[in-house]
Structure formats: C-alpha cells, structure tokens
Amino acid sequence: MRINFGKYEVPPTLQKIIDLQHDLGDPEQFYFGFNFYLSLEKFRYFNTPSDVVVFGNIGVDGIHYGFLTDYGSVSDLEVAPIICVNPIDFDRPIRIVANNLREFLRVNMTDSELFYNQFESEENYLLAKEQWREEANNSPYQPTEKENFSRKRICNYLIDDLKIPRIDNPYRYVQTVKREREKNIIIQTQDGLGVTNPLLLGEKHIHFPIKETYLDLELLQEYLSSKPIASRLAIFRDLQINYSWQDYPELFDIVIKAMIDIKCIDEAKRLTEDI
C-alpha cells in the first residue's frame, strides 16, 4: 500500500469508505453498493500510468480507478482528478472521469457505465441505460433483500454522512471534465492524459517519435537527459502506452533511471513493483 500511495496520505473521503467496508465486513456487500471493490495495493496493469494511485476495480476486464497525481504535482489526493483505466480498450484505455473522489462517488452511484464505455451522444447513452434496465428487470437473477439493504445503506451514507455533491446530468458532467482537462494540457500525449507541468521560460517541447520509427535507445537517453522536464514526463506517458516493460528490459532501465534523475521516485517505485 505504501508504494501505491507514495508520498501521499490516504485522503479523508477514501478513509471513510475504507472504514465503511470494515463495518460491513463483506467486500461483496461493499461492491453491491459502490459498484467497485477497494484495491489499495498491487492492482496495476502495464498501461496504468506511473503517476496514478489506484484505489478500486470493478472486478471485470481489469478495469480500475485511481487518483491522477500529475507526477506528484497534486497537493492532496482529496482534490486529485480520478481516472479510469480499461486495459482491454485499445482505442482509449485511459480516461479522466471526475474532478475528485467525492464527485466520482456521486456519478458512480447511478451512472458508473459512463466511466468505461463510449457513447456517441447523450441520447445514445440514455437508450443504452434503458436497455440495461430492462435486461436487469427480466434477468432470472434479482438482488437479495440483504443486497438491497446494503445498497440503500451505502447510498444513504454517501448522501447524508459524506454529503457528496449533487450532479444533475452525469453524462454532461463527464464530458465537461474531459474538456476542462484538455484546456490545462501543456503537452499532448498518446494516452490522452497529457502533461500539465509547465514549460519554463525559454524552454521548447520537441516531439520524440514513439512507434513511428525504430526506437533508438541512445537518442532516447540523450533526450531524457537534456530536454525540459515537461517533455520528459510526456515521453514517459507515450512509452508506457506503447511498450510492456517486461518485454523491453533495457528500455525499462533507461526510463527508471530518467525518472529518478528528475526526482519521480514514487513513479519509479510503482513501475518497479509492476515488473
């Protein structure tokens, strides 16, 4: 757990739902109410960004959620953006889905499908949601009385005790979060997250081709030792979305050294734990 969280403390809202799971005494009852399982350590995939602190997974297809720290620049996980990683979505495996955990929990109560599915429009989403509702009503499996009680208890807890904010239109909310993130990106990256760390006065970003040509490790090392910090962070993202570290040990060693050189210690430790 310490490697996952790095320099960060467990944020108050997350601690409260951890305590609630202890009170429930059953991860399955927690899942039925929250639509995800808590995952506080060693739940990462090759494309889980190194600057993400994972906190939960949905129990299917490796889909998981985490706090985006923007390479340690976020002051407190309580205010960190939330991302969803869908390892089997090859077009868009990583998405910003909420501004913070409290807003994530509100959307997650009723519209968690927005986090890991793509819809052409709000109308298409509402049609899909209605179809899922009909399928659930016609399914031979129906929630037990205990499950319904747990879900109601958790919903009441989130609203009355945690006082999570009201979000009137979850679909538009998720779309707005995505647009606002794009406004803050300084350098675009292939995973869609981008880099928000600023370029300093006089610095200029020069793109390093990934998967466009043969990856020259000597040129990469030179790039990682000379270019602006923001540019190095961007290439960390591009490399991770394209290469599995286990298959490229020499590349992995170069990246770890480059991270340590610019004091991305937590990120290097998370990647090392993944191997």
> What string of pLDDT tens digits covers the 275 residues of the chain?
789 999 999 999 999 999 999 988 888 889 988 999 999 988 999 899 999 999 999 999 999 999 999 999 999 999 999 999 999 888 889 999 999 999 999 999 999 999 999 899 999 999 999 998 888 888 888 778 878 888 888 898 999 999 999 999 999 999 999 999 999 999 999 999 999 999 999 999 999 988 766 789 999 999 999 999 999 999 999 999 988 888 899 999 999 999 999 999 999 999 998 66
Same domain, residue pair 146 and 220 = no
Same domain, residue pair 100 and 134 = yes
Query: Which residue, of 145, 180, 215, is where some domain finishes?
Result: 180
Same domain, residue pair 159 and 235 = no
Same domain, residue pair 130 and 17 = yes
Query: Nearest CA to 258 among 271, 248, 268, 247?
Result: 268
Query: Which residue, of 180, 203, 233, is where some domain finishes?
Result: 180
Same domain, residue pair 176 and 191 = no
Query: Which residue, of 147, 180, 213, is where some domain finishes?
Result: 180
Query: Nearest CA to 229 among 195, 257, 253?
Result: 195
At 7 the pLDDT is: 95
At 260 the pLDDT is: 97
At 194 the pLDDT is: 96
Same domain, residue pair 243 and 113 = no
Distance, CA of 238 to CA of 242 (rounded, Å): 6
Strands 64-68 and 37-38, by their bridges, are unpaired
Name the token pair of 188.
Answer: 């675009």
Same domain, residue pair 81 and 142 = yes
Same domain, residue pair 18 and 107 = yes
Distance, CA of 223 to CA of 21 (rounded, Å): 46
Same domain, residue pair 219 and 85 = no
Same domain, residue pair 267 and 229 = yes
Same domain, residue pair 39 and 136 = yes
Q: Which residue has the tokens 């599915």?
A: 117
Same domain, residue pair 139 and 211 = no
CA atoms within 13 A on the CB side of 38: 17
Which structural domain, as residue segments, surrounds residue 241? 187-274
The structural domain count of the chain equals 2
State the first-to-last Cα distance of the chain, in angstroms, to the nearest integer: 16
Determine how many CB atoms are found less than 10 A away from the CB of residue 221: 13
Residue 231 in contact with residue 206, Cβ under 8 Å?
Answer: yes
Query: Nearest CA to 89 among 56, 49, 118, 68?
Result: 118
